[in-house]
Amino acid sequence: MKPDETWLLKEILQQPQVLQRVLDRERRAVARVAAVMRRRRPRYLVFAARGSSDNAARYAKYLFGAQHALPVALATPSLFTLYRRPPNLQGSVVFGISQSGQSPDIVAVVREGRRQGVPTVGITNEPDSPLARACDMVVQLHAGVERSIAATKTYTASLACLALLSAELSGDREHLRALQALPERLAAYLHGWQEATSAATRYRGIQGCVAIGRGFNYATAFEISLKLTELTYALAEPYSPADFMHGPVALVSADFPVLAVAHSGAAYEQMLEFLGDMRARGARIIAISNRPQALGLAKTALPALPEDLGEWLSPIFAVIPGQLFALGLALAKGLDPDRPRGLRKITRTR
């Protein structure tokens, strides 16, 4: 099977169009959420999500923390379902993120938020789903049908919805302009998709690796590790460099694969120092970056990100070479990337 014979590649390449639809069609819905947040002045935000959507919520932790001084908590759904001891949500806005909107535990969190009288927001690809019906407000992903099991376009659409909400909440015109330019820039970047899929063939023998990112791209490390695990069956673990050095670094020996996201910004110098340390230990570094120095430390440099891309938007770009690398590695191992074993498109957890 060739990459362009897969639904997964088709959907990776659809991401610029999906982002454009989000920006064109959801501005009013997002503005409504922003208006409610300005009026209610929440002390914190709560996000309920699973899988790739949970990684989008990790992005929200940095986005709303860095740009709005708002603490973000990731919900513990079992407190709402198994233990039936939901926490006090007063003073919050509760968000549920789910591609399908079908998972009962995510719906349970937003229902409880609504019962407690706090604003609830659903971010979903299915406007008629249980999640959408349970929420006060809904922001749609407009991704169309995602035929491949692994989430790609719904993940970046979720990030775009959150970035748009942040820009609307602040009223930052420069941020809004940067968002509007993103689909065209992403389309241009994706013209070189073969570079990342081809690079992956050199790693067909790996059974395990780590994905490292910090700050805004901590979420990217989690999402890339999820793609690698579900598509290639290699055990890929995500870490921040700080956590990794507190024990898991013992994994690293000669040729151990370390995939690192090192975008310019507040976390860059620490990531650069980390890459230097990994190179000294003989690690096989796979780098995603917009800086030549970081890419120069890598055994494999995936296609360079735009140099002037703002850190707050970089996760929308940085995950793409990871998606493509996972696709290429799955094919190099003789696996079907559209149908990973044991997985279904809709997963209902309680």
**Segments in the chain below pLDDT 70:** 342, 344-350
pLDDT tens column, 232-265: 999 999 999 999 999 999 999 999 999 999 999 9
Q: Give the distance from CA 62 to its chain's centroid.
A: 12
Global pTM reads 0.96
Element (H, E) at 282: none
On whether the CB atoms of residues 73 and 172 are closer than 8 A, the answer is no
Place of tokens 């968002």: 179
CATH number of 193-332: 3.40.50.10490
On whether the CB atoms of residues 51 and 157 are closer than 8 A, the answer is no
In the chain, list all ranges with CATH 3.40.50.10490.
Answer: 3-187, 193-332
Place of tokens 């073969």: 194
Contacts 24+ apart (CB under 8 A), 2-5: 2/331, 3/193, 3/194, 3/197, 3/327, 3/328, 3/331
Q: Report H helices in 149-281.
A: 153-170, 173-190, 193-200, 218-232, 241-244, 268-280
CA distance 121 to 90: 15
CA distances from 110 to 3, 36, 82, 153 (A): 39, 16, 15, 24
At residue 231, the pLDDT reads 97
At residue 346, the pLDDT reads 57
CA distance 6 to 336: 8
CATH architecture of 3-187: 3-Layer(aba) Sandwich (3.40)
At residue 344, the pLDDT reads 62
- Among the listed residues 220, 191, 186, 266, the one whose alpha carbon sits nearest the alpha carbon of residue 58: 220
